[in-house]
Amino acid sequence: MLQIYNTLTKEKSPFTPIEEGKIKMYVCGVTVYDLCHIGHARVMVAFDVITRFMRSQGWDVDYVRNITDVDDKIIKRAAENGEEPHELTERMIAAMHEDEARLSVLRPTQEPRATAHIGDIISLVETLIEKGFAYPAANGDVYYRVEKFADYGKLTNKNVDELKTGARIEVEEAKESPLDFVLWKSAKEGEVSWDSPWGKGRPGWHIECSAMSKCCLGNTFDIHGGGPDLPFPHHENEIAQSEAANGCTYVNTWMHAGPVRVNSEKMSKSLGNFFTIRDVLEKYNAEVVRFFLARVHYRTYIDYSEDSLKEARVMLERFYQALRGVDAVEGPLENDFEERFIAAMNDDFNTPKAVSVMFELVNELNKATREGASEAPALAAQLRKLGGMLGLLQQNADEFLQGESEEGGLSNEEIEQLIVDRAEAKKAKNFAEADKIRDDLASQGIILKDSREGTSWFRES
């Protein structure tokens, strides 16, 4: 049985969906004012692995991940660029889709945009006003009355009185209480805006997700996920808005991915250790990056470093070396690798344990290959199947291991020609020349492997 750690209850518990066989999941997506960074990639990959595994077990997963395409940051960046906000967001959305495709992240079932749900947002704000949980202020904004919602702080164990101590009201705000947060912002001159009962304006950040999740999945759904920075205040505010408006539980299970640190420090532009997904993929193979992100448990932090990426590359090479030269063909097997892999994943998606099972399978496959055992093709198929549940090991082994040449290095064609030259030297019994070619290639990280079928090669990490 699948067990998931619930951020709300602070414990793992058996997962039972609202509707048998179907899982409704909403994950907070990206505010598209800039290129996605490695922290975004961590959340994308974590919930992609979760979705892939649940689907592999027969669940019908309706995976919704929103796009925030109207926001202060978007308006500010567009003004700096001298372009319209929608031009900026369209470019960034296209870039995001390119980045996630390279990381083999499947597109969500639904990808709602805030600007396409303005009517739903206005309707939700009106409901909150009618129920006394929100109020229009003199400055044209609409605010949520935090202290009216008795359960405020239940996700993150925040105490309202303690929160009030550190809160303050900005000069331009017209709140009743410093804890109140904005649902609808009145538009400044020249800003993108929509008509509303309170004048021209745009939605606050928190209300967008309450409206989009309700529209896509209903008043109550199974799983809500997101990044490590979202439990407070974003998800806390979503709960307050949705439960006050709808009069029922908002979400049954809350899941949050862990943060990314860079060489054990928090990633930030001010520290100069901020990396976009594109920065990373310029240096590292996309599947290596995905494996690096997926093999760490989704709730723990990841330490991004050169050594960590190199280690991930070496580990992934072990899988592909085992698959190399073996035709993966499904067949009967008497082992418990798949059973133990699934058990690990059913335990709150324990990818470190699942990957360790895959390495045991690699040892079994290597042994079968060495001994010429008949079950080698079935073991290779099993390894690819388990890897597929994590979005891994679907490439041709030779293509992965040979990769692309680095700048100034030998091309694949040049390597193949040198292998031909070496074979001709050996045929002419010029073993010194053959050995020199092998040694010269090895000095450039090109490793040759001779067999009865001929010579294969791969690029060493």
- Measured distance CA(403)–CA(460) in Å, rounded: 10
Q: Which of 6-20, 217-231, 402-416 has the lowest mean pLDDT?
A: 402-416
Q: What is the pLDDT of residue 143?
A: 98
Please tell me the number of Cα atoms within 13 Å of 123 on its side-chain side. Answer: 10
Taking only the tens place, the pLDDT of each residue in 187-209 is 998 899 999 999 999 999 999 99
Residue 461 has pLDDT above 70, yes or no: no
Q: What is the pLDDT of residue 405?
A: 60
Q: What is the pLDDT of residue 56?
A: 98
Q: Which domains does the chain have, with CATH numbers?
A: 3-257 (3.40.50.620), 261-401 (1.20.120.640), 404-459 (no CATH)
Mean pLDDT over residues 55-62, rounded?
A: 98
Instruction: Kindly report the number of other CB atoms within 10 A of residue 387's CB atom.
Output: 23
Exposed / middle / buried, residue 160 (Cβ in 10 Å: 0-12, 13-18, 19+) = middle
Q: Which two three-digit tokens encode residue 370?
A: 């060495």
Residue 408 has pLDDT above 80, yes or no: no
Q: What is the pLDDT of residue 94?
A: 98
Taking only the tens place, the pLDDT of each residue in 86-107 is 999 999 999 999 999 999 999 9
What DSSP element (H or E) covers 263? none
Taking only the tens place, the pLDDT of each residue in 1-10 is 999 999 999 9
Residue 158 has pLDDT above 70, yes or no: yes
Q: Which two three-digit tokens encode residue 169?
A: 């009201």
Q: Is 234 one of the annotated binding-site residues?
A: yes
Q: Which of 53-57, 94-98, 321-325, 338-342 has the lowest mean pLDDT?
A: 321-325
Mean pLDDT over residues 136-142, rounded?
A: 95
Q: What is the pLDDT of residue 406?
A: 64
The rounded mean pLDDT for the chain is 93
Q: What is the pLDDT of residue 242?
A: 98
Q: Is 28 one of the annotated binding-site residues?
A: yes
Q: What is the pLDDT of residue 407?
A: 58
Q: Is 90 one of the annotated binding-site residues?
A: no
Q: Is 404 one of the annotated binding-site residues?
A: no
- Measured distance CA(425)–CA(285) in Å, rounded: 34
Q: What confidence tier does 404 reach under pLDDT thresholds 50, 70, 90?
A: low
Mean pLDDT over residues 378-386, rounded?
A: 98
- Measured distance CA(59)–CA(295) in Å, rounded: 22
**What is the percent of the chain with per-residue pLDDT over 90, rounded to a whole number?**
80
Residue 354 has pLDDT above 80, yes or no: yes
Work out whether strand 302-304 and strand 260-262 pair parallel, antiparallel, or are unpaired. parallel
Mean pLDDT over residues 284-300, rounded?
A: 97
Q: What is the pLDDT of residue 452?
A: 65
Q: What is the pLDDT of residue 84?
A: 96
Q: Can you list the pairs that 234-237 forms with residues at least 24 positions away whose Cβ atoms lie under 8 Å?
A: 234/28, 234/205, 234/206, 234/209, 235/28, 235/155, 236/152, 236/153, 236/154, 236/155, 236/156, 236/158, 237/144, 237/181, 237/206
Q: Is 269 one of the annotated binding-site residues?
A: yes
Residue 234 DSSP one-character state: I
Residue 25 has pLDDT above 80, yes or no: yes
Q: What is the pLDDT of residue 374?
A: 95
Taking only the tens place, the pLDDT of each residue in 431-442 is 888 888 888 888
